[in-house]
Amino acid sequence: MKFYILTLFPEMIQSTLSYSILGKAQEKNIIQIECINIRDFSKNKHGQVDDYPYGGGPGMVMQAPPIFDAYNSIVSNIQKKPRVLYMSPQGKTFNQEMAFSFSKEKELIFLCGHYEGVDERIIDTIVTDEVSIGDFVLTGGELAAICIIDSIARLIPGVLGKEASFQQESFTDSLLEYPQYTRPSIFLDQPVPEILLSGHHEKIENWRRQQSLLRTMKRRPDLLEKANLSKQDWDWIKSIKES
Ligand code: ADE
């Protein structure tokens, strides 16, 4: 899978994504990440890519032509036009389901805005998905793109060590993850839950499922409605609520 990022700060993205699991995935060529500097497509001798907003108001707006030329430099070599994700607080809030959907694509283009955003006509012309990472405002789209690329890339086969790693984690089935422990077995007088040392796999599975349900009930009750729960899960939830 190839990620293209249209940005004014390519180093910010390239360096952040070169560590750890995604760094290795790039070395092994399972994923490719290419940043395109929008400024390289400025026709202005000072490399200007922004201008005052029509109608007045604070800040600057990123101009459409350099973004469009940067975009064309990518798609002119690709048969099927890739989806273009514009990072914006006005977008649809990103979630795990969207991560799964995007991870099926062969190529994705990310557009990172700065200042007061980009000229609306570029959104109308090339953007297929306007995406936000939450109800807060960042100084630019780069950090949002990094988060989203990380979450998509780890779903691509071969990126994580074990295929199963992401099948048993938060949000995959709309439940939060159970707590994890490792050595030492006692830390600051707090022992690891005894069941985990029992070697009884079925009981451990049960306990973990109940911990997931409990956490989700307490922290994110909204997720329970979407979760794929068995009769046994519901019976357990009922018994907890009654106790
Ligand atoms: N750019 C600025 N704020 C953002 C947000 N919350 N999500 C995505 N892109 C952004």
Whose Cα sits closest to atom 6 in ligand 1?
89
Start-to-end C-alpha separation, the chain:
50
Helix (H) or strand (E) holding 112: strand 107-112
Helix (H) or strand (E) holding 111: strand 107-112
What residue ranges define each of the domains in the chain, with the CATH number in brackets? 2-153 (3.40.1280.10), 168-242 (1.10.1270.20)
- Angle, helix 201-219 to helix 231-242, in steps of 10 degrees: 60
Calpha distance 205→186 (Å, rounded) = 22
Task: Tell me, using a 6 A CB cutoff, whether residue 87 lines ligand 1.
Answer: yes
88: Cβ contacts below 8 Å, ≥ 6 apart: 113, 117, 130, 131, 132, 141
Calpha distance 166→173 (Å, rounded) = 11
Query: Could you read off the pLDDT tens digit of each residue along the chain, which spans 243 residues?
Result: 999 999 999 999 999 999 999 999 999 999 999 999 999 999 999 999 999 999 999 999 999 999 999 999 999 988 999 999 999 999 999 999 999 999 999 999 999 998 899 999 999 999 999 999 999 999 999 999 999 999 999 999 999 986 556 665 777 688 999 999 999 999 999 999 999 999 999 999 999 999 999 999 999 999 998 899 999 999 999 999 998
Task: Tell me, using a 6 A CB cutoff, whether residue 89 lines ligand 1.
Answer: yes
Strand intervals (E) in the chain: 2-7, 32-37, 50-51, 61-62, 83-93, 107-112, 129-132, 186-187, 190-191
Question: Is the separation of the CB atoms in 133 and 147 below 8 Å?
Answer: yes
Calpha distance 210→195 (Å, rounded) = 13
Task: Tell me, using a 6 A CB cutoff, whether residue 144 lines ligand 1.
Answer: yes
Sequence length of the chain is 243
pTM of the predicted model over 0.85? yes
Whose Cα sits closest to atom 7 in ligand 1?
132
Task: Tell me, using a 6 A CB cutoff, whether residue 137 lines ligand 1.
Answer: yes
Task: Tell me, using a 6 A CB cutoff, whether residue 146 lines ligand 1.
Answer: no
In order, the DSSP letters of 181-203 are: --S-SEETTEEPPGGGGS--HHH
